[in-house]
Amino acid sequence: MSEVLRTIGLGLISLPLIALVAFLASRMLGVRRSWANVLLAGLIGWSVASVAALAIADWDADTPGLFRNFCVLALLITMASAVALDLLAKPGTLTKGEDAGFVRIPHPIRHFRKTLEPIRRLHQVVKIARANGFGPHLGFRHRDVVVTDPTPVRIRKTLEECGGTFVKLGQIASTRADLIPPEYIEELSKLRADVAPSPMADMKDVVSKELGGHIDDIFLEFDWDPIAAASIAQVYRARLQTGENVVVKVQRPHIRQTVERDCSVIIRLAKFAQSRTSWGSDLGVEDLASEFVVSLREELDFRIETRNARQIALATHGEHGVRVPKIYAEHSTTRLMIIERFDGPSVADVAGLEALGVDRADFADRLLNSVLDQALRQGLFHADPHPGNVVALENGDIGLLDFGACGRLDPIEQQAMLQILVATVRHDIPMLAEGIEEVAKLPVTLDERALHHALARFVAANDTPGTGISAQAFAELVPLLRTFKVKLPGEFTLLFRALGTLEGTLRIISPGYSLTDAARRVAGDEIPTTPSPSGDIEELVTRELIAQAPTLQRLPGRIDRIAALAERGELRTRIALFSTEEDARVVTTLVNRAVLTFVAGIAVIAGTFLALSTGGPTVTDQTTIAHLTGWLSLLGGSILALRVVAAAIRDGYN
């Protein structure tokens, strides 16, 4: 009994030492791995090192240097075991690049809760998806329900039933015409975040905490009946102690934890879709989900919306009679915003506009000019100008609301967008293609001739007599470019969507409003809507010179630079090797396999010499340490060689 207790005691004492050795080995490798992996490697290293150290000491526990040998062997064998366990890992599951760092120690209870909550939510989401007929898509063999609705309708219903974050995911997805087919976009556009308001007591606690004092110290009046309740925040009417009428936007309590939980579920589902489905891999849904998560986390920080409102206000600076509400930054936080209240009807309220005596055509012109000025000259634009975000003020000014969604264009993108708009109006296909190529990501194998023909058909198909090309047509341009693997910047997609929304708002304000005519005004009245077939040669040459002016302006400087370099003998050409991802993937695969083959060959040769050697410390009467190491090296080299052969066969190199 005493021997058993002694053995148990030694085991308990060894556990922290094993953990320490495993931690040190992982630190020295510098690669992040799970605690289970680290401890298993430590246990293997500790056990093998114990046997090896005793074997070297001829099984004499009193041999000097036994503890030193044991420590060195334990560390080295633990590191080798960790690498060996990596070889057994599922391909693609190991952390790479900068993420491969040292081991992190999470708080056990918080980590357990953080892990458990997404699992529960994932189970709930999967149950809802199965109830809407998506069981086979999630790996279940049999369909759970009889499907009657089309797939887009079932997707919308699933997102609505999941609620909150998933509804917002669908709303954002409905703006991605570059990725999602039109029938899905049409259905997802019907999503509405109708959310019951949070209890007044809970919201009072949030307001009081964010203000850092009593509510009555800041507000003279506060109407606790919300005028809007969304998934993230609620909006209230109030009046400051100084007398200004304001609205207060307050984040719901505990919404951050809910969003983080749902975002974790969305990332897991995206990883599943990308690894298990062809459409998920083609769309790169994991990257898209990551973009959504980043965007939603930014939306949780009201300071970003405050900054957007200030920058839009500076960009408009009252021009065109457009006003941006004042943000009371001294009282605003990450979870609370106090905003100047605009009292006036929405532009969707026809009776309200008539009561104010608004000149609708002028009102629409001023709104359009302001948004286009923001995007094409200031580089910052309101990304969601729907009728609810545009109000008519009593003095005839235009009020813009809600700056949570804003887009930004750099100077090159601004110029390219203006060029695209002008070229579309003029039916100038080379100019349109040049504007796209200026900012788009182009495949190496792009067929420019086919692209030009496709753009010409796009312009011809969307040119409506009397109104020209609508902003909604630009939503079709993005999927058209995708067929050629031409990818526009995400901000362009956002601007196309904003222009489409703006066009709908403008036509509510002034029925029959033509965006084409407005584009002509932006580009200049001298540019005709369509090419003039009867124009003389001088007019044609003049128009082409105007179109090519930017290129001609840069040409003399480039020619002078080329001549100077040639004169000095310094003219060089640069060829981009491995310029495509496919080239890089092939070369990387070949290099990796060459390295593995080289290591396998060295291991087999070294193992052969060691296995045939004589003398040295013995493990048993017939086996020496050299023999044992040699056979292990032969085994490891053989496994590596077989892995290379198997991978080559799987890839078709047979």
Nearest alpha carbon to residue 397 among 318, 328, 341, 326: 318
What is residue 221's predicted lDDT score, i.e. its pLDDT? Answer: 92
End-to-end CA separation in angstroms for the chain: 62
Residues in contact with 207: Cβ distance below 8 Å, sequence separation at least 6, in sequence order: 215, 248, 250, 336
Please state, rounded to an integer, the average pLDDT across all residues of the chain.
Answer: 76
Quote the percentage of the chain above a pLDDT of 90.
5
- DSSP annotation of 135 reads T
Backbone φ and ψ of 391, nearest 5°: -125, 155
- Whether 372 shows a pLDDT value over 60: the answer reads yes
Q: pLDDT tens, 423-459?
A: 887 788 888 888 888 888 888 778 888 988 988 988 8
Nearest alpha carbon to residue 309 among 287, 292, 332: 332
Contact 15, 43 (CB under 8 A): no
* Strand pairing category for 380-382 and 245-251: unpaired
Contact 524, 425 (CB under 8 A): no
Contact 231, 164 (CB under 8 A): yes
CA atoms within 13 A on the CB side of 332: 20
Backbone φ and ψ of 313, nearest 5°: -60, -40
- DSSP annotation of 371 reads H
- Strands (E) across 351-442 are located at 380-382, 390-392, 398-400, 406-408
The Cα angle at residue 40 between residues 35 and 45, in degrees rounded to 5: 125
- Whether 331 shows a pLDDT value over 90: the answer reads no
Helix (H, G, I), strand (E, B) or coil at 613: coil
Least confident among 51-60, 248-257, 391-400: 51-60
* Strand pairing category for 463-464 and 468-469: antiparallel
Backbone φ and ψ of 441, nearest 5°: -90, 115
Query: What is the distance between the alpha carbons of residues 21 and 80, in angstroms, rounded to a whole number?
Result: 13
Query: What is the distance between the alpha carbons of residues 288 and 597, in angstroms, rounded to a whole number?
Result: 37
Tell me which residue has tokens 């797939």: 151
Q: Sheet harboring 322-323: ordered strands across?
A: 322-323, 398-400, 390-392
Contact 122, 265 (CB under 8 A): yes
Q: For residue 7, how many other CB atoms are within 10 A of its CB?
A: 10
Helix/strand/coil percent split, the chain, to 5: 60, 10, 30
pLDDT-based confidence at residue 72 (cuts at 50, 70, 90): low
What's the pTM?
0.60
Exposure class string for 532-550: b at 16+ Cβ within 10 A, else e: eeeeeeeeeeebeeebeee
User: Where are the domains positioned within the chain?
Assistant: 13-99, 109-195+259-295, 345-531, 581-650
What is residue 159's predicted lDDT score, i.e. its pLDDT? Answer: 85
Tell me which residue has tokens 């999503």: 191
Backbone φ and ψ of 469, nearest 5°: -85, 125
What is residue 417's predicted lDDT score, i.e. its pLDDT? Answer: 85
Q: pLDDT tens, 566-600?
A: 777 776 766 656 556 667 777 888 888 888 889 88
- Whether 625 shows a pLDDT value over 70: the answer reads yes
Contact 386, 505 (CB under 8 A): yes
- DSSP annotation of 62 reads T
Contact 370, 322 (CB under 8 A): yes
What letter represents residue 443's amino acid? P
Residues in contact with 11: Cβ distance below 8 Å, sequence separation at least 6, in sequence order: none
- Whether 100 shows a pLDDT value over 50: the answer reads no
User: How many helices and strands (H and E) does the chain possess?
Assistant: 24, 11
| Cα-based distances in Å from 351 to 346, 366, 509 | 10, 20, 11
CA dihedral 477→480→486→490, nearest 10 degrees, is 40
Least confident among 22-26, 274-278, 291-295: 22-26
Contact 362, 320 (CB under 8 A): no
DSSP per residue over 428-463, as a string? -HHHHHHHHHHHSB--TT--HHHHHHHHHHHHHHHE
Q: pLDDT tens, 398-421?
A: 998 888 778 888 888 888 888 888
CA dihedral 366→372→376→381, nearest 10 degrees, is 110
- In the numeric block, which tokens belong to residue 377? 């000259």
Least confident among 134-143, 265-274, 480-489, 608-617: 134-143
Nearest alpha carbon to residue 324 among 251, 417, 390: 390
Q: pLDDT tens, 111-122?
A: 666 667 778 888
Q: Highest mean pLDDT range out of 330-344, 438-452, 476-490?
A: 330-344
- Strands (E) across 241-393 are located at 245-251, 322-323, 336-340, 380-382, 390-392
- DSSP annotation of 377 reads I
- In the numeric block, which tokens belong to residue 179? 């990725």
pLDDT-based confidence at residue 654 (cuts at 50, 70, 90): very low
> Strand pairing partners for 229?
234
Contact 353, 398 (CB under 8 A): no
Helix (H, G, I), strand (E, B) or coil at 494: helix
Backbone φ and ψ of 625, nearest 5°: -60, -40
CA dihedral 563→567→570→573, nearest 10 degrees, is 40
Longest dimension (CA), the chain: 112
H/E run at residue 227: strand 219-229
